[in-house]
Every structure is written in structure tokens, then in C-alpha cells.
Amino acid sequence: MNRLILGIIVLAGACSAPQKEKSSVSSYEEVQFAKGFHFENDGDKRYLVVDKPWPNATTPIRYLLDGTPKRIVCTSTSHLPFFDMLDSEESVVGFPNLNYISSQVFIDRANAGLLTDLGPDGNMNMELLLGINPDAVIAFDMGGESKTLAKIQEAGIPVYYNSDFLEQSPLGRAEWIKFFGALLNKEAKADSIFNEIADEYNRLKELALDAKERPTILSGVVYGDTWFLPGGDNWAATFFNNAGGEYLWDSDTTSGWLELSFEAVYEKGNDADFWIGTSTLNTMNEMKGQDQRYASFSAFTNKEVYNYNKKIGPNGGYDFFESGYSRPDLVLSDLIKILHPELLPAYETVYFQNIK
């Protein structure tokens, strides 16, 4: 799975309770930053509402919460840290292709026979799935159709859509811990954990305002003939700016990825102070091996190139794409340490490091 360009297990369809009259529904629990879900109550019934289950979806999906913890199959490694944070690792009983997992906790569970490998992405082994008899499958969907999902539904296994990847803010994505807390009957714990993360993130954001300068930032690398880099409204761009940097494409309004020519990036980013995020290129020699022109950038010449490769799992997965979404406070700390080391003198980065 290429998480650099958001490789997705494509699952589609719907699994929802009948829509209630809107006048009978009131707010149940506040969601502060996330735009993709909220909670509602209707009398003594509680609902988890996913407002946009997939890109361009026009109808929310409402899930009745029964207060019962569930045995769950996940389909993205980025879901797993939330279970760890909620002390609910045992709730995850299946996953498609265990080789993607970086977390030692879940690798150990797999080695102990407690986590079942359900086969390749997007084509789960139904026999194995039915054999472990989960209470739910958590899916994420880019808007296509999936025979696998249809079979899961036909088998009577509820499918819960998680669209956290559509969030544009770091705290918005991290707040999906409340989605998992609701399914695990640990709402209070999820709220408490998120509030601590949000408080720390905002403290760090305020700290970065004290920086005397805002160094300029370049990001991304070339694939084929195209340079992929975060748009100005992308999750990564928000981090760069909150860390006290000036992302050179900040004025762009794209929430996904920009696809530019090498020449266009060079014209704007040649003199950038920092180059942060180099995909799977983890040394400067690897970068030059892919494209000698990288060496012409000032950040490369000055050895101010950083990548999120400090924590790599035993199977080669980048932990940044597994746990980083759930811990924006750590990601922001890393970036502040890179851009303004004087603000966090004793801090050691978790995900990012200067590549040599």
C-alpha cells in the first residue's frame, strides 16, 4: 500500500439505521475539530453519524450505538493506534495483509495467533473472515464499488465507514479517536485522551509563534515526470505553518496533492531553507540516484533535508503513516525541533530525522 499517495482499500456501499426525522434529533456529544462525524441522540438512543462516508458522498450514515464493545476487523494501519491508545488491542481480531503493520503490539498479537491475516487488500478472504466472526468491519472508501463489501454485508457483518482521511486539519483527524471510543464503549476515555493531545498541540502552536523567523519549506519528490507535493490546504501544509514555517505553496487551496513539473517546483523552491518529506528516499545518495537535479536545491546543498523515516517497522512500514495521524502533537513537536530547535532544546524527534 502506498500511503504517500493515499493508497486505499476501496470498499463501498451502505450500512445504516433508518433515517430519523431531523426534528427529533439533538446533539449528543460535541466534536470540536473533525468535520466528518458527530454524535446525536434521539430519546434514549445514541447514534454515531458519519457525515461524509467517502469523497463526494451526499448522504450521512447513522449507526446506532448499543454500548457493547466489539470484536473488530480493521482495514487501515492508521486505525490501529487508536485501539492501542484506548487499551483495546484485543478488540482487533483481523486485518488484511499483516505485513503492512509497524506496531510491535499488533505484530506480537499476530505472532501469538490472536490477529488473523485476511489476505490481500480489497479482496479479503471471506472464509477466514467468517471464521473469526467479527462484530464489525471498519472500512475506508474512495467512492468505488466493492464485491468484498457486498459479501460482508450479505454475511450480516456491519460495516462502519471511517473517513478520517478526508479531514484537513491535524486535530480534526486525531479527533476520530472518538469514533473508535464510541464503538468500543470508551467514549469518556477517548475524550480525555483527545483533550490532552489537543491541549498539547495548541500549546506547541502558540510556542512556535515566538519564533523570530519563519523559514521557507519545500516538500515532496518526483514520480515519473511529476513532482507530488502537499497542496496549501493539505494536512502536511497545516503542520508546516503551525510549526512556525512558511510553506511555499501555502496560498494554494488544494487539500490533496499538487502535481507539478520539476521546473515549476525548482523555480519556486530552489532557495527554500528546508526540504521536509522525501517519500521513500531516505539518503541523499538515494535522492541523487533518482534525480541528479535534486542536488541543485539550496536545502540539499545545505543538508537541511528531513524525512519521516526515523521509525520503520520490521516489515519496512513507516510508523509515521500508522501512528502519526493519531498523535499530531508529536508530529508538530518534531517539526518545531527541525525549524526552531531553540524552542524545544531537550526534545528528541519521534518520526523525522535529518537524512545524510
Q: What angle do CA 119, 89, 185 make, to 5 degrees?
A: 115
* Residue pointed to by grid coordinates 512558511: 246
Asked whether residue 243 is domain-assigned, the answer is yes
325 and 241 in a common domain: yes
139 and 224 in a common domain: no
* Residue pointed to by grid coordinates 450505538: 65
**Strands across the sheet containing 61-65:** 26-29, 37-42, 45-50, 61-65
* Per-residue pLDDT reduced to its tens digit, 73-109: 999 999 999 999 999 999 999 999 999 899 999 999 9
Q: Which residues touch 199 (CB under 8 Å, ≥6 apart)?
A: none
Asked whether residue 205 is domain-assigned, the answer is no
184 has pLDDT over 90: yes
Question: What pLDDT score was predicted for residue 56?
Answer: 87
For residue 240, the Cα-to-chain-centroid distance in whole angstroms is 16
254 and 114 in a common domain: no
Question: What pLDDT score was predicted for residue 146?
Answer: 65
164 and 30 in a common domain: yes
Asked whether residue 206 is domain-assigned, the answer is no
226 and 178 in a common domain: no
* Residue pointed to by grid coordinates 490472536: 114
19 and 168 in a common domain: yes
Paired sense of beta strands 257-260 and 226-230, if any: antiparallel
Residue 324 phi, psi dihedral angles, 5° rounding: -65, -35
List the single range of 7-11, 61-65, 155-159, 242-246 with lowest mean pLDDT.
Answer: 7-11
C-alpha cell at 105: 503490539
Residue 41 phi, psi dihedral angles, 5° rounding: -130, 155
C-alpha cell at 111: 505472532
Residue at 57: amino acid letter: A
Q: How many domains does the chain have?
A: 2
* Residue pointed to by grid coordinates 509497524: 102
225 and 188 in a common domain: no
Whether the Cβ atoms of residue 249 and residue 234 lie closer than 8 Å to each other: no
112 and 59 in a common domain: yes
State the Cα–Cα distance between residues 333 and 252, nearest whole angstrom. 25
133 and 75 in a common domain: yes
13 has pLDDT over 80: no
338 and 263 in a common domain: yes
| pTM to 2 decimal places | 0.90
189 and 230 in a common domain: no
CATH, residue 189: 3.40.50.1980
144 has pLDDT over 90: no
Last residue of a domain, one of 166, 198, 230: 198
312 has pLDDT over 90: yes
52 and 193 in a common domain: yes
Asked whether residue 275 is domain-assigned, the answer is yes
Q: What's the domain range around 100?
A: 3-198
